[in-house]
Amino acid sequence: FDTLTQLPNRRMFLDRLAHDMLKSQRDRSRIAVLFIDLDHFKEVNDTLGHQQGDVLLIDAARRISACVRKSDTVARLGGDEFTVILTELEAADQVERIAQAILDRLRQPFDLGPEQAFVSASIGITLYPDDALDIDDLLKHADQAMYAAKGAGRNRYSYFTPTLQVAALNRMRLTSDLRGALKSQQFALYFQPIVHLGSGAIHKAEALIRWNHPQRGLVSPLEFIPLAEASGLIVDIGEWVFHESARWVQRWRQQVHSEFQVSLNQSPLEFQREGSSYQGWLAHLQSLALPGQSLVVEITEGLLLDASSAVSNRLLQLRDAGIQVALDDFGTGYSSLSYLKKFDIDYLKIDRSFTRNLAPDSSDMALSEAIIVMAHKLGLKVIAEGVETPEQRDLLAAAGCDYGQGYLFAKPMPADQFDAFLRD
Ligand code: C2E
Ligand code: CA
Ligand code: CA
Ligand code: CA
């Protein structure tokens, strides 16, 4: 095939699958369905453009096809998702060998004109008739397994397991509980101090949400924020976090320090939401006689790779409102310092995976030092996350890091407790 449209589409794939399932019933053989999703394709597509993106997809389809046998089917469901049907499976490790071969081939660089691009893939695998007897269930399982592969860190394959199904059911239940959580006041905002390393002063804190589930107890934001995003509930939750943050920062500005700042987190979806603006926030802050600088919005660096204007518009809106911006989890993603210059960011938060490995003369130490020097040259202040030991604090201070945050100073605590902590 020369163009993407020559690959079997969804309908052809479903016909083929039904046919293969019938055949497998007749000769009692087994088939496998693979869902393949390219990791990081969107970044390539956004950076190099659709045409190069399509070239990559065509090449990816070729590479996948080269890994399978004649009797197998490779189809494209749309976007950067491919499916494969492997028929008449014999040896147990046959599926794994093919899946691994696909992963290996997709890891090779893609030549796109003058540029080279790298992607990887996440593959979900489900077996017929073992995992399900029905086409819809089979596809659902392959999809769940693919998300499990992504969740486990990408560039890997994952089999469907009944545990995955339990997890999916669990997510559905939690999502429906989440709908009532705001109304029943099950959320609490915790605060963790951000400490000035030179003086030990605490004039900043990060707001971290907690969900106190009536049956399950505290549910981690790492678990429920993705559900809130997927269901759209993130918008109301984010508004609640903002109003609580504003209420507390007003108090701390009056009673603790006139320039107290509270940082709040915005997930990528929340930040990029169309049609939103910070006008409402600004008006609310004004009604509390608070300047924009009372707040810092923490976003993750992956957002800055988005070449669309949505992200830079949102950043400009923040700038107009006087609200500051921190780049969270720095060092875990693409870490391109050039983005920092382009986007006018106020704080850089070094991820705790760096802080954890800090030791004199270690490579993480050298990297942290370099990051701090560059950040300062670009006019950013640096906050190190996950400071747990006095040694880490001292190394960071020696490297010129401005602020530290972590269990060494205090764990996140409920707002009233933090209020008392500030007064000690
Ligand atoms: P994050 O923004 O990277 O927040 C820092 C996380 O590190 C927090 O986890 C905090 O409790 C934890 N932490 C702080 N100091 C230490 C330390 O010394 N050692 C270790 N091991 N961990 C430390 P938490 O509160 O569970 O939050 C997890 C993530 O959930 C946050 O990561 C943030 O991405 C997200 N999140 C939290 N609150 C909100 C919110 O209101 N809105 C949104 N959109 N996301 C939120
Ligand atoms: Ca993808
Ligand atoms: Ca954060
Ligand atoms: Ca972080």
Give the domain CATH number at 79.
Answer: 3.30.70.270
The answer to whether residues 213 and 185 belong to one domain is yes
The pair phi, psi for residue 3, each rounded to 5°, is -120, 165
Among 186, 239, 265, the mutation site with the greatest number of ligand 1 atoms within 8 A of its Cβ is 265
Between CA 418 and CA 166 the distance in angstroms is 38
Q: Quick one: average pLDDT of 163-175?
A: 83
The answer to whether residues 322 and 407 belong to one domain is yes
Q: Determine, yes or no, domain membership for 345.
A: yes
The answer to whether residues 154 and 291 belong to one domain is no
406 lines ligand 1 (CB under 6 A): yes
Between CA 341 and CA 377 the distance in angstroms is 10
- Residue nearest atom 46 of ligand 1, based on CA coordinates: 265
Helix (H, G, I), strand (E, B) or coil at 325: strand
The answer to whether residues 151 and 189 belong to one domain is no
- Indicate which atom in ligand 1 lies nearest the CA of residue 408: 18
Ligand 3 centroid from CA 315, angstroms: 17
The pLDDT value given to residue 1? 53
220 lines ligand 1 (CB under 6 A): yes
Note whether 328 and 265 are within 8 A (CB): yes
- Indicate which atom in ligand 1 lies nearest the CA of residue 266: 44
For the entire predicted model, the pTM comes to 0.73
43 lines ligand 1 (CB under 6 A): no
Least confident residue range of 160-169, 383-392, 412-421: 160-169
Amino acid identity for residue 113 in this structure: G
Q: Quick one: average pLDDT of 110-124?
A: 91
Q: Quick one: which of 298, 232, 235, 234 has its CA closest to 263?
A: 298
244 lines ligand 1 (CB under 6 A): no
Q: Quick one: average pLDDT of 187-201?
A: 98
For residue 64, the enclosing domain spans 4-160
Least confident residue range of 5-9, 158-162, 336-340, 415-419: 336-340
353 lines ligand 1 (CB under 6 A): no
The answer to whether residues 89 and 19 belong to one domain is yes
- Residue nearest atom 8 of ligand 1, based on CA coordinates: 208
The pLDDT value given to residue 329? 87
What's the CATH number where 405 sits? 3.20.20.450
The pLDDT value given to residue 135? 95
| CB-proximal residues (5 Å) to ion ligand 2 | 37-38, 41, 80
Q: Determine, yes or no, domain membership for 165.
A: no
More confident position, 243 or 112 = 243
Domain boundary among 106, 132, 160: 160
Chain centroid to CA 56: 24
Domain boundary among 160, 184, 211: 160
Q: Determine, yes or no, domain membership for 330.
A: yes
The answer to whether residues 211 and 113 belong to one domain is no
Q: Quick one: average pLDDT of 224-242?
A: 92
The answer to whether residues 187 and 38 belong to one domain is no
The answer to whether residues 76 and 183 belong to one domain is no
> In the beta sheet, which residues pair with residue 195?
202, 404
- Indicate which atom in ligand 1 lies nearest the CA of residue 228: 44
Q: How many domains does the chain have?
A: 2
**CB within 8 Å of 124: residues ≥ 6 apart:** 34, 35, 141, 142, 143, 144, 145, 146, 147, 148, 149, 157, 158, 160
Between CA 173 and CA 227 the distance in angstroms is 10
